[in-house]
Structure 1
Amino acid sequence: MSETDMIQVEVAYALPDRQAIIPVNVAAGTTALEAARRSGVAQRFEGLNLEDSRLGIFGKLVAPDQVLQAGDRVEIYRPLKADPKEVRKARAARVKERRQDSDD
Structure 2
Amino acid sequence: MSVCYALPGAAWQRALELPAGSTVRDAIAASGFAAEHPGVDPYAHGIAVFGALRGPGHVLESGERVDILRPLTFDPMESRRRRARHKAAAAAKKAAAD
TM-score with structure 2 setting the length: 0.78
2:91 maps to which residue?
A: 99
Runs of 4+ in 1 over 3 A off after TM superposition: none
Post-superposition Cα deviations, 1:79-100, rounded to whole Å, max 9, x if no partner, equal 1112223211211112212332
Within a 5 Å distance, the mapping from 1:55-74 to structure 2 comes to: 55-74=47-66
TM-score with structure 1 setting the length: 0.75
* In 2, Cα distance between equivalents of 1:43 and 1:92: 44
What code does the residue aligned with 1:39 have? S
Q: Is residue 24–residue 39 contact of structure 1 (8 Å, CA) maintained in 2?
A: yes
* In 2, Cα distance between equivalents of 1:42 and 1:93: 43
Q: Is residue 33–residue 50 contact of structure 1 (8 Å, CA) maintained in 2?
A: no
Percentage of pairs with the same residue:
33
**Residue 101 of structure 1: how far off its partner (Å):** 4.1
Q: Structure 2: give runs of 5+ residues left out of the alignment.
A: none
Alignment CA distance shift 1:43-1:85 (3 Å): same
What code does the residue aligned with 1:22 have? R
How many residue pairs are counted as aligned between the two chains?
96
Post-superposition Cα deviations, 1:20-55, rounded to whole Å, max 9, x if no partner, equal 220123232221133112211232235421131311
* In 2, Cα distance between equivalents of 1:65 and 1:54: 13
Q: Structure 1: give runs of 5+ residues left out of the alignment.
A: 1-8
1:5 maps to which residue?
A: none
**Residue 57 of structure 1: how far off its partner (Å):** 1.3
